[in-house]
Structure 1
Amino acid sequence: MAGPLAWTVDLDDGLAVVVVRGTLVLGKAEQLRVALLKCLAEQPDALLVDLAALEVADDTALSLFTAVSQQAENWPGTPLLLCAPSPPVAELLERGRHGNVPVYAGVAQARRAVAEGRAAVPSVTDELLPIAGAVRHARNLVTEACLAWDLPELVGSASLVVSELVSNAVEHAGTMMTVRVTRRGRYVHIAVRDGSPREPVAGTPGSLSDRGRGLVLVNTVAEHWGSLPTRDGKVVWATLAAP
């Protein structure tokens, strides 16, 4: 056996590269899944998982990669690419018994696919100051993105969502923020990352309090929304479906 399961994470040039070593067993799959989801919270252009030093004791555990890939499709639209599996692991992945995830011969090939636009998804990003004008700038950003992707019908709902997420960041975080808009298939993902670890709290419909009222609107318009902690704060995201 190759030893206990372990991994390292390297955030480099817009990519998250996770090198996994050891033996994958079902009991440790959840820990690796959580680690990969934390990588997604950093909003890389792609998440590359190097499997060259991985052995699989229970092939059922490979379903963790499918679960992470599905989460990435819902948000933030980040492709998950598996790299350099050994022949036995590659054979298990090829069977597709636990879902299909793109597999590349090596990390270099996966990097090239991302650089050439064959793996990464269309996205726009901007850094905003925590000032009142940030909301208007964010609305302009999502409007231009929706029109560029030929999704004019999403302009209204996308503008509403980004307005609420940015307003919350300005009011409650008061830090620099990153707004990212991503398109994946028929979905548009909107994410606002700030420097505060304080989680957003949605109010209840009809509440007299202003706190969380905007997130009620987000919950009404979006297919899904949520938040995840990052290394230096949090990211709040929402997914919209085109009609």
Structure 2
Amino acid sequence: MSRAERPDARSAPGVHNGTIMPMDVQCLVEADESSAVVRLSGVLEPAAVDRVRDALLARLCDRPGPIVVDLARLRSSGATAGRLLAEVRYTVADWPAADLLVVDPARTVTGAAAAQLSIWATPDEATAALARTPMAAVLAADLTPTMGAARQAREMVADGCARWGLPELTEPGCIAVTEMVNNVVAHALTPMTVRLAPRDDSLHIAVRDHSRRQPAYAGLAPLTSTGGRGLLLIDTVARRWGSTVVPDGKVVWCVLHAEDEAAYQG
């Protein structure tokens, strides 16, 4: 067994399936590129929490849809693991189609954290629940930071709203995604991933880039200003929006609701 596979490895980063994964003290995070399962093993001590959180956020950035977090080989207080997983789930709650399904056969996670998580007794049960996720209702595209990126993103929003029966969100969705993409083109200057998905009567949009520079929103821009209105436009059309720092960049997201458009037009 290699050092990266041993749960008692203490100093080197874990390597699984050719990918370096965060590791600290006795905690190892293992992710298989061929599946949505992430396994935590060893001891999750307080010093490891930030790195494990980053690993989970990175995994949710890199693949569309929920992930399964298997705690079967984790030796930790349920309180520590529960708080960490509940925090991650809360952080990605408004990302398109993002979620955590937790496998906790020993029922170590209890109390308030358990109430905030989707917990299953076995990997098979969690995988079956994952299979019921409507992943067909997720659109994603990798774009370069060029002038044509916003047009491609708008086309994707229009296509998604037509597929999902949300025509009233086409215009506000295009406004929001244009500003989100143009911020990357103007400021981050990195490749980006645009992802969107429906949820009930809402549209969730996220743009992930590779700059940790956070967007700055200062409210209304002066009338004499030639810029600075991008975030104001997003704030106007979206019920919620935000920016989440991830290990190698950020995710800017927003949520638009059909009933808000109906009320506005009425």
Q: If the TM-score is normalised by the length of the shorter chain, which range does it land in?
A: 0.7 to 0.9
Tell me the equivalent position of 1:103: 119
Q: Give the letter aligned to residue 86 of structure 1.
A: P
Structure 2 counterpart SS, 1:73: coil
Alpha-carbon separation, structure 1, partners of 2:94 and 2:185: 25
- Higher RCO, Cα 8 Å, sep 6+: 1
CA contact (8 A) 1:14 1:44 kept: no
Shift of 1:206: 3.1
SS where residue 213 of structure 2 aligns? coil
1:87 aligns with 2:106: yes
Whole-angstrom CA distance in 1 between matches of 2:27 and 2:175? 42
In the alignment, structure 1 residue 52 sits paired with structure 2 residue 88: no
User: What CA distance in whole angstroms lies between the structure 1 residues aligned with 2:64 and 2:182?
Assistant: 24
Give SS of 2:150's match. Answer: helix
1:112, distance to aligned residue in structure 2 (A): 5.2
Question: Are 2:199 and 1:188 aligned?
Answer: no
Unaligned regions of 5+ residues in structure 1, if any?
none
1:134 matched to 2:149? The reply is yes
User: Which has the larger displacement, 30-39 or 119-128?
Assistant: 30-39
- Give the whole-Å Cα distance in 1 for the aligned partners of 2:35 and 2:180: 23
Is contact 1:127–1:176 with CA below 8 Å preserved after alignment? Answer: yes
**Cross-structure match for 1:227:** 243
Q: Which amino acid aligns with 2:72?
A: A
Hey, what's the Cα distance between the residues in 1 that align with 2:226 and 2:53? 33
Q: TM-score, normalised by structure 2?
A: 0.71
Deviating more after overlay: 97-106 vs 144-153: 97-106
- How many Å separate the matches in 2 of 1:178 and 1:32? 23
Contact kept? 2:179, 2:231, Cα under 8 Å: yes
Kept in 2, the 8 Å contact 1:19–1:50? The answer is: yes
Q: 1:201 aligns with which of 200, 210, 216?
A: 216
Could you say what the CA RMSD is over the residues aligned between the two structures, in angstroms?
3.3
CA shift at 1:237, angstroms? 1.5
* C-alpha distance in 2 between matches for 1:97 and 1:10: 23
The aligned residue for residue 213 of structure 1 is 229
Deviation at 1:225, TM superposition (A): 1.8
Q: For the residues of structure 2 that align with 1:132 and 1:14, how far apart are their CA atoms?
A: 35
| Structure 2 residue ranges without an equivalent (≥5) | 1-6, 9-24, 260-266
Deviation sequence 1:173-218 (CA, Å, 0-9, x none): 3333211002233432111122333322224313243443211111
Match for residue 95 of structure 2? 75
CA change 1:57–1:125 in 2 (3 A) is closer
Whichever residue aligns with residue 105 of structure 2, its letter is S
The aligned counterpart of 1:19 is 40
Cα distance between partner residues in 1 of 2:165 and 2:206: 20
CA shift for structure 1 position 120: 4.8
